[in-house]
Structure 1
Amino acid sequence: MKNYIIRNVAIVNEGKIEHQDILIQKGRIVKLAPIIDKLTNHKEINGEGLHLLPGVIDDQVHFREPGLTHKAQIATESKAALAGGTTSFMEMPNTVPNTLTQELLEQKYAIAEQDSWTNYSFFMGGSNDNYDEAMRTDLSKVCGLKLFMGSSTGNMLVDNAQTLEKFFGNFEGLIATHCEDEATVKANLAKYKELYPTDEVPYDIHALIRDVDACYTSSSFAVDLAQKLGTRLHILHISTAKELDLFGSSLPLAEKKITSEVCVHHLYFDAEDYKTFGTQIKCNPSIKHGQRDALLQGLLDDKLDIIATDHAPHTWEEKSGSYWQSPSGVPLVQHSLQVMLDMHLQGKISLEKVVEKMAHAPADCFKIRERGYIREGYWADLVLVNLNRPFTVTMESLEYKCGWSPFVGKTFGSTIEKTFVSGELKYDNGEFIFSEPGRRLTFCPRK
C-alpha cells in the first residue's frame, strides 16, 4: 500500500473550502495541515488548481449480479462508479434470485469481496413472507432492509398490511422504501393501455402512468406508519414536489427518524426530455412534468437529505424497444458527481452542499464507520476533481457493461482526475489500477 501527500489542494469538507496538504498512510488520512513536511517513501501529488472531495457514497444502485449479468456485474459497474468519483455503494436486493435470505445476501458479499473496485454494502430484501429471515440481519455489517411498496422483480412487492406493520414496528435498523402505490399505477396502466393499444403513445406516457398521486399515496402512507411505530424510515428517489411536505428540515440529519433521497436524473431531466431521449430515461418513479426545480429547492432546504443515482442498467436492445416493452432503469453512476458539479458551475448549488448531500449525509444517515468525511483517522476515500477541465462523454469512455448512457455526447464542465478508495489510488486520469478489492462497509450500532 502506497503512502501519499497531496499538496496545496482545495479541500471541500464539512461546510468549508480550505487549501491544505493531506497525508495518507496505510489507507487512512493521517494529517491535514497548511504545510506537511516532505517525507521519504511518499508519493507526492500536486493539487494546485484542483478540489479534493470525500468520495461519493451512493445509497441506491442496481448492479444486477447475480442472475442478470447480461446487463451488468459488480465488477463492471463498480469500475464505472470509481471513474465517476463514487467510492462506496449500497446495492438493492431485486437481483435473481431476490436477496431474501441471509445465505443469498452473503453470496453477494462474497462476489464483491473478490470483484468490487469500490467499497460496498448490500440491502437485505423484505417480502410478504420472509419476516423472520429478514429480522436476522446483522446491522453492524448490512446497510438496511429494502421494502418495495410498489411493483418490483419477482417476490419483492410488500403489500400485506400486517407484514408492513411488523417490519415497521420491529426492525431495529434503517428501512429503505420504494414508494409508488400499486393500485394507482395499475389503474393508470389499464386506462392508457386501452387508450393507446399500439406502440404509438404520447411522449410522456410514463409520467402519466406513474404519476404524482401514485408516489404521494404510497410515501404519505409510509411516513404515517413510520411516525406511528417509530420506524427509522428512508424513502428513496423522491420525484414530486407534493412529497416534500412530508419531510421536515428543522432537525439535524443525525436526529431525523424519517429521511429522504433524491436522484440525479430527477434533478437533471424533465418530462419534456422524453421527446429527445424516449425510453432511455424511462425509470421508476417516473421523470415528471414541472417537478425538477422544486426538487432542487427541497434539496437546498434540507427536506431532501441525500443525492443518489438508482443506477439501473439494461442492454441497449432492451431499452430500444417500444414504450410498452422497454424496461425501466437508467445507467447513471459514472456521471452523477459531474451532473452535480455542473449544477454548481451554473450557480444552482454550492460545492459544499454537493459534498454534504453525496458524502456526508449518506455516511450520517446510514451510520457508516469512518467514511464520508475528510477527517484525520478516517479511511482515505477521496476524489480529486478539476472544475476547469471540461469532459465530453463518449461511448468509448463508458465503463458500463450495457455500453450506453443518456449523457453520451454531453460535455460536462468538470473532470474526475483521481479516485482513492481506502487510501489506494485506483483511478488516475483514465487509468485503472486494481491493487485490491474495495472493503465491506461497517455500521455503528443504532439507537
Structure 2
Amino acid sequence: MKAVLIKNANIVNEGKIIKGDVLVQDGRIAEISETISAKSADTKVIDADGSYLLPGMIDDQVHFREPGLTHKATIETESKAAVAGGITSFIEMPNTVPQATTIELLEEKFDIAAKTSWANYSFMFGGTNDNLDEILKVDPQKVAGLKLFLGSSTGNMLVDDPKILEEIFSKTKLLISAHCEDETTIKNNLEKYKAEYGEDIPIELHPKIRSEEACYISSSNAIKLAQKTGARLHVFHLSTEKETHLFSNKKPLAEKKITAEVCIHHLWFTEEDYKTKGSKIKWNPAVKTEKDRDGLLKALLDDRIDVIATDHAPHSLEEKNNKYLNAPSGGPLVQHALVALLEMHHRGKISLEKIVEKFAHNPAILFQIKDRGYIRKGYKADLVLVDLNSPWTVKKENLLYKCGWSPFEGTIFKSRVTHTLVNGVVVYENSKFPNKSNPERLTFNR
C-alpha cells in the first residue's frame, strides 16, 4: 500500500488545532509531527496548504436501503456520497427488506458491504416483539448494537409489548439505540387533522402530528426503563428542546449509561422551512420550532447531547412529491452533513474542535469502536481534509445520491471536502474518486 504524507495541515484533534504533517503507512497513522519528510520516492505527498485535517466522521445512523429498496439507494451509492462528504465509517439501520432481524439476514448485509462499500461499515441488529432469542446470539464485538423502534416503524419492527421490551432491556448486552415517538399520541393527532382536512393535510402540520409530546413521552419512558433495568441506552435523533433536559452532562461520555444524538436536519431547518422545502424536509421525528433547534444546539454544546449523525434516509423524488399522507419521511444527507456543520462554524455557532468531538471522537467512544475516530499514531488512517474558503453551490449536477435530490439544493457552502482517506487510501480527491477504497467491518472494544 502506497504511503501518504499530508503536509502543512491544521490538524483538528482532541480539542486542539496544531500545525503539522501526518504520515500514513500500511493503512495506519505512522507519524504526527511539526515536519515530516517523505520516506520513499513513491510516497504520495498532499500539500494541505493550511487546510484543516480532521479524523474521518463516523455516522452512527444511516439508512442505505439495501437489500430490497435499491430503487432509493444502495450501500455502494450512498457510501460513495458519504466519503465525498468526509464520512469514513457508518452504522446502518435494520429496516430494509427483508429486515435484519436474524443473524443470517444481518450477515447478508455485511456481505454486501464487504463487496461494494466505499466506507467502513457496521449494521444495527433489529429488535421485534418476537426475536429475543436471535438478539441474544449477536456478538457485541462484531455488531454495532440493537435498534429498537419505540414508535414509528416499518414492517413488524415496532416493539410495543411492555413485557417483551423490559425483557430485551434486561437481557441484552448490546448497546440499545432507540427511535422514540409515542405511537398513540401520533395516531390521535393524525385523526384530529384528518377530521379537519381529510386526505389533504398541509405538510406544515407534520410537527404538530409528530409532536413534542409524542417525542417526550417515548423518550422519557425509554429512559425510565433503562434506569430500571441497567440497560445501555442511546436515544436517536432528538428533535425537541424539552427532551434535552432528560439527559445529563455530569459524567464523561465513556461513563454514561444513557446518551443522546442530534441530526443535521434538526440543527439546520425549522418549521418555517416547510413553506419552501415541503416534504423534502419531512422526517420522523419532525423538524420543529426555532426554539427546538436552538435548544438542541445548546444541549449539544454543553454535552447533554453526545453525538451528531445524519439519519440519512433517501427516497425517490417521485415518492417524496406525494401529498402529506403518502410522502415518506426521510432524506439524503451524508454528502452535505460535514459542510453544513462547517457552515454553522462560519456563522459562529460551533467550533471546529466541537464538530470533530461530536461527529468523530464521540461516536468512537460511545460505540467503543476500535482504532478509529482520532488522529493518533497507530490508529486507522481515516482522514478528511477540508478547505474552509472554497465556496460552492449544491446542484443536481454535483449530487452523488442515487435518489438525485437534496434538501440543500441551491445552498452555497463556504467549505468543501478536498480529500478523504479510508484506511490510508485516498478514495476522494478534488471531486474525483482516484482509488477504490479498502473498507473494513468495524470492530468494537467490548
Q: Where does residue 319 of structure 2 map in the other structure? A: 318
Q: Aligned partner of 1:157: which letter?
A: L
Instruction: Map 1:120-131 onto structure 2 (within 5 A).
Output: 120-131=121-132
Contact 2:215 2:285 in 1 (8 A): yes
Q: Distance in 2 between matches of 1:394 and 1:288?
A: 26
Q: Aligned partner of 2:5: which letter?
A: I
Report the TM-score, using the length of structure 2 for normalisation: 0.98
Q: Distance in 2 between matches of 1:108 and 1:427?
A: 24
* Structure 1 residues 206 and 46: alpha-carbon distance in aligned structure 2, compared to 1, 3 A threshold: same
* Other structure's SS at 2:140 match: coil
User: 1:38 Cα shift?
Assistant: 3.1
* Other structure's SS at 2:398 match: coil
User: 1:434 Cα shift?
Assistant: 3.9
User: 1:44 Cα shift?
Assistant: 1.0
Q: Distance in 1 between matches of 2:172 and 2:440?
A: 26
2:372 is the counterpart of 1:371: yes
User: 1:101 Cα shift?
Assistant: 0.2
Question: Deviation string for 1:377-412 (max 9, x for gaps)?
Answer: 000000000001112111011111100001111110
Q: Aligned partner of 2:225: which letter?
A: L
Question: Deviation string for 1:119-155 (max 9, x for gaps)?
Answer: 0000000000000011100111100000000121111
Q: Distance in 2 between matches of 1:435 and 1:239?
A: 36
2:54 is the counterpart of 1:53: yes
2:218 is the counterpart of 1:230: no
User: 1:438 Cα shift?
Assistant: 1.1
Q: Aligned partner of 2:96: which letter?
A: T
2:164 is the counterpart of 1:145: no
Instruction: Map 1:166-315 onto structure 2 (within 5 A).
Output: 166-199=167-200, 201-289=201-289, 290-315=291-316
Query: How many residue pairs were aligned?
Result: 444
User: 1:203 Cα shift?
Assistant: 4.3
User: 1:196 Cα shift?
Assistant: 0.8
Q: Where does residue 350 of structure 1 map in the other structure? A: 351
* Other structure's SS at 1:138 match: coil
Contact 2:370 2:443 in 1 (8 A): yes
Q: Aligned partner of 1:284: which letter?
A: N
Contact 2:419 2:429 in 1 (8 A): yes
Contact 1:390 1:413 in 2 (8 A): yes
Q: Distance in 2 between matches of 1:108 and 1:210?
A: 31
Contact 1:117 1:434 in 2 (8 A): no
Q: Where does residue 439 of structure 2 map in the other structure? A: 438
Q: Where does residue 38 of structure 1 map in the other structure? A: 38
Q: Distance in 2 between matches of 1:284 and 1:44?
A: 44
Report the TM-score, using the length of structure 1 for normalisation: 0.98
Question: Deviation string for 1:54-101 (max 9, x for gaps)?
Answer: 011000000000010000000000000011000000000000111110
User: 1:42 Cα shift?
Assistant: 1.1
Q: Where does residue 337 of structure 2 map in the other structure? A: 336
Structure 1: 4+ residue segments shifted above 6 A = none
* Ranges in structure 2 where 5+ consecutive residues have no aligned partner: none
Q: Distance in 1 between matches of 2:444 and 2:199?
A: 50
Q: Where does residue 386 of structure 1 map in the other structure? A: 387
Q: Distance in 2 between matches of 1:270 and 1:121?
A: 31
* Other structure's SS at 1:123 match: strand
Q: Distance in 2 between matches of 1:121 and 1:198?
A: 39
Q: Aligned partner of 2:423: which letter?
A: S
**Range with bigger deviation, 1-10 or 212-221:** 1-10
Q: Where does residue 133 of structure 1 map in the other structure? A: 134
Q: Distance in 1 between matches of 2:106 and 2:299?
A: 34
Q: Where does residue 93 of structure 1 map in the other structure? A: 94
Question: Deviation string for 1:247-266 (max 9, x for gaps)?
Answer: 00011000000000000000
Contact 2:101 2:127 in 1 (8 A): yes
Q: Where does residue 22 of structure 1 map in the other structure? A: 22
Q: Distance in 2 between matches of 1:324 and 1:226?
A: 33
User: 1:435 Cα shift?
Assistant: 2.8
Question: Deviation string for 1:205-246 (max 9, x for gaps)?
Answer: 100100000000000000011011111100000000110111
